[in-house]
A and B are shown apart, each in its own frame.
Chain A
Amino acid sequence: MTRTIETITFEDAVRFISLEADCLDHRDYATWLGLWAKDGIYAIPIDPDAEDFADRLNYAYDDAAMRRMRVSRLTSGESMSARDASNTLRSLSRFRMLDDEPASDVRIRCAQHLVDYRRGAYRTYAANVTYRLRVEDGGIRLAEKVVRLINSTDALAGMSFLL
């Protein structure tokens, strides 16, 4: 995001969310935190049909303060599960703009296929992910990220990474 932009194109959006994915797989959490708008919301709902999250139970429903705490938990060394964290590798594909572009506030949806490796075992997490991206101060910021796991209502195992 070196150039100043006023609107977000499809290519801008894909480039931005690929960067976000790369930060998470490489545990570059400091950069990841910087991608967010101040009022950004990171949500991982349980209910597959949920559109608003405040009045129901989610896996995560994070504002900026909660995201910061989540990152410190994963990096502080105080959490025994995070000390032995998974290696993750995620692929994003099947991109679709949900709003007309270019615009200064757009939503893009994609498929995320995440492979998690820990203690000799692979697990996969398949999800539809929707991002709302917004232009702020000439750059793109993440205003909302909603991760809808296709098995969200099943029993999951503990996760030592971010989806």
Chain B
Amino acid sequence: MTSRDFDALVLPDRVHSSLYRDPAIFEEEMDRIFNRSWVWVAHESDIPKAGDFLTTHVGRQPVIVNRDRKGDIRVMVNRCRHRGATVCEARRGNAAGFVCPYHAWTYSQDGSLRGVPLPKGYKDFDKAEYGLVQLRVETYAGLVFATFNHDIEPLDTFLGRAKPWIDLFMKQGGGFPVKTMGEHRFTFPGNWKIQLENTTDAYHFPIVHKSFLTSLDNATEDLFSFMDAGGYVEDLGNGHSVMVMIPELVDLDDNLDADIPDRFADIAEELRRDYPEEQVRKIVRAIGGSGFNLNLFPNLACSMAFFRVLRPLAVDETEIRHIAIGMDGGPDIANRARLRLHEHFQGPMGFGTPDDAEAWERVQRGSAGSADPAWIMVNRGEDKTAANAGDVTAETGMRAAYQMWKRMMSA
């Protein structure tokens, strides 16, 4: 496929439904986007100590993310350089190194090949040439990104205008560093971009999440009824965007003298035993998370109170992880409250996620109706400009993502 074709499939206000359905396009996405872009792989709190590791994927390639003896984070292809077996199948753990189970080639924490059994069977064998394949790794505010593209711009430049929003998002540590606290992992039968769009789709919230809204107390229901709360969506460049739903919860350090909501009154009372009033307010205000979704192209979102990570499995199959986050070293009672809020909305039995997944599945099923014009419309709402704050239901974030998609697919 040529770049010409992608131009025809992604217009400024609509995209062609073959983007959800065509296996050839999916293959190209894996090459041109997931093998070339910065891809989020972990949060630093997942691997705090030397030797800590986890296994995950960059696009379709299995990788190990680990912290070596010197404390550097490494991301390495999980494939033995002998005949290609995975060297690690554990999801996470701590290891002095990795021993391939097939013929016992042994790799150290930094991925270098340390030894092979019966070395005299090899002639002119230079172990230095057979280390695990290393990706380039950079971090921002605890977020660990990796890429196969050693010529790519620095992460800092790639994130660009998204960085101040990441900083704001991390304020939900309530004065403590942010740490991950487990995850809900689920799949849905649909294309990954359907989920990418959804993180910047406020339009669906009162419809799809009606049963979630009903389950909330009145004050919280008001907070989540953000259609007219002054929110907006902004294109942050490079496919990233932010959707502000609850403007008063953009900066969690603001309004610390406002009244504590009833639902957090008991927690505040208990916190007062251990913390001064100012810190109590800061912690309590951080419990519910931020009032915005930050969509980082292609696979991460900092979404209100959790990380959303997507992994394309096939053109019509996607895995989503909703990673709970909390306050590292913070009070148990606050972290417990955050866990319960996460369980309430997220996961295969949450009050929100199954309805989202149902909507996304319906989009995939409906996209089989391919009679022309088979367009997916993303033309809603005006983009935020200096003079115009736009609207929270604008599809600006989707337009931003698809323009980046086109740029990368045509490059």
A residues sitting closer than 8 Å to B (CB atoms) are 44, 46-47, 54-61, 66, 69-70, 72-73, 76, 78-82, 84, 153-160, 163
A72 touching B188 by the CB < 8 A rule?
Answer: no
User: Among B181, B186, B214, which residue has its beta carbon within 8 angstroms of that of A156?
Assistant: B186
B351 touching A59 by the CB < 8 A rule?
Answer: no
B349 touching A44 by the CB < 8 A rule?
Answer: yes
Is B355 close to A, CB under 8 A?
A: yes
A81 touching B354 by the CB < 8 A rule?
Answer: yes
Q: How far is the CA of A163 from the CA of B185 in the complex (A)?
A: 17
Q: How far is the CA of A70 from the CA of B349 in the complex (A)?
A: 9
- Set of chain B residues within 8 Å of A153, measured between Cβ atoms: 91, 185
- Set of chain B residues within 8 Å of A61, measured between Cβ atoms: 340, 343
- Set of chain B residues within 8 Å of A70, measured between Cβ atoms: 351
Quick one: CB contact mask for B172-192 with A, threshold 8 Å, 1 for yes?
Answer: 000000000111111110000
Q: A156-B185, A163-B349 are in contact. List 4 more A-B contacts (CB 8 A).
A: A46-B184, A73-B215, A153-B185, A157-B188
With A157-B348, A158-B186 already in contact, the answer to whether A59 and B343 are too (CB < 8 A) is yes
- Set of chain A residues within 8 Å of B214, measured between Cβ atoms: 72-73, 76, 78
With A69-B215, A73-B211, A155-B186 already in contact, the answer to whether A60 and B358 are too (CB < 8 A) is no
B211 touching A78 by the CB < 8 A rule?
Answer: yes
Q: How far is the CA of A79 from the CA of B324 in the complex (A)?
A: 23
Q: How far is the CA of A22 from the CA of B403 in the complex (A)?
A: 52
A158 touching B357 by the CB < 8 A rule?
Answer: yes
A76 touching B332 by the CB < 8 A rule?
Answer: no
With A59-B343, A84-B358 already in contact, the answer to whether A155 and B336 are too (CB < 8 A) is no
- Set of chain A residues within 8 Å of B355, measured between Cβ atoms: 79-81, 158
The winner among B210, B215, B319, B324 for most chain A CB atoms within 10 A is B215
The winner among A46, A47, A81 for most chain B CB atoms within 10 A is A81
Quick one: CB contact mask for B340-366 with A, threshold 8 Å, 1 for yes?
Answer: 101110011101011101110000000
Is B208 close to A, CB under 8 A?
A: yes
Minimum CB–CB distance from B364 to chain A (whole Å) comes to 12
- Set of chain A residues within 8 Å of B351, measured between Cβ atoms: 69-70, 73, 79
Quick one: CB contact mask for B31-58 with A, threshold 8 Å, 1 for yes?
Answer: 0000000000000000000000000000
User: Among B343, B347, B359, which residue has its beta carbon within 8 angstroms of that of A80?
Assistant: B359
B185 touching A154 by the CB < 8 A rule?
Answer: yes
A155 touching B319 by the CB < 8 A rule?
Answer: yes
- Set of chain B residues within 8 Å of A56, measured between Cβ atoms: 181-182, 339
Q: How far is the CA of A157 from the CA of B183 in the complex (A)?
A: 14
- Set of chain A residues within 8 Å of B349, measured between Cβ atoms: 44, 59-60, 159, 163
- Set of chain B residues within 8 Å of A78, measured between Cβ atoms: 210-211, 214
A81 touching B215 by the CB < 8 A rule?
Answer: no
B343 touching A158 by the CB < 8 A rule?
Answer: no
Quick one: CB contact mask for B144-177 with A, threshold 8 Å, 1 for yes?
Answer: 0000000000000000000000000000000000
Is B335 close to A, CB under 8 A?
A: yes
B336 touching A55 by the CB < 8 A rule?
Answer: yes
Minimum CB–CB distance from B46 to chain A (whole Å) comes to 14
Minimum CB–CB distance from A153 to chain B (whole Å) comes to 7
With A57-B343, A78-B214 already in contact, the answer to whether A155 and B185 are too (CB < 8 A) is yes
Minimum CB–CB distance from A42 to chain B (whole Å) comes to 11
| 12 intermolecular pairs with C-beta atoms under 8 Å apart | A55-B336, A55-B339, A57-B182, A57-B343, A59-B349, A66-B344, A81-B354, A84-B358, A155-B187, A157-B186, A158-B188, A158-B357
Q: How far is the CA of A54 from the CA of B335 in the complex (A)?
A: 10
A158 touching B211 by the CB < 8 A rule?
Answer: no
B215 touching A157 by the CB < 8 A rule?
Answer: no
Q: How far is the CA of A55 from the CA of B327 in the complex (A)?
A: 13
B336 touching A72 by the CB < 8 A rule?
Answer: no
- Set of chain A residues within 8 Å of B342, measured between Cβ atoms: 57
In the complex formed, the residue of A with least CB distance to B353 is A158
Minimum CB–CB distance from B155 to chain A (whole Å) comes to 28
- Set of chain A residues within 8 Å of B187, measured between Cβ atoms: 155-157
Q: How far is the CA of A99 from the CA of B292 in the complex (A)?
A: 50
B354 touching A79 by the CB < 8 A rule?
Answer: yes
Minimum CB–CB distance from A150 to chain B (whole Å) comes to 15
- Set of chain A residues within 8 Å of B181, measured between Cβ atoms: 56-57
With A79-B211, A79-B354 already in contact, the answer to whether A60 and B343 are too (CB < 8 A) is yes
- Set of chain B residues within 8 Å of A58, measured between Cβ atoms: 339, 343
Q: How far is the CA of A159 from the CA of B339 in the complex (A)?
A: 20
Q: How far is the CA of A59 from the CA of B332 in the complex (A)?
A: 19
- Set of chain A residues within 8 Å of B211, measured between Cβ atoms: 72-73, 76, 78-79, 82
Minimum CB–CB distance from A85 to chain B (whole Å) comes to 10
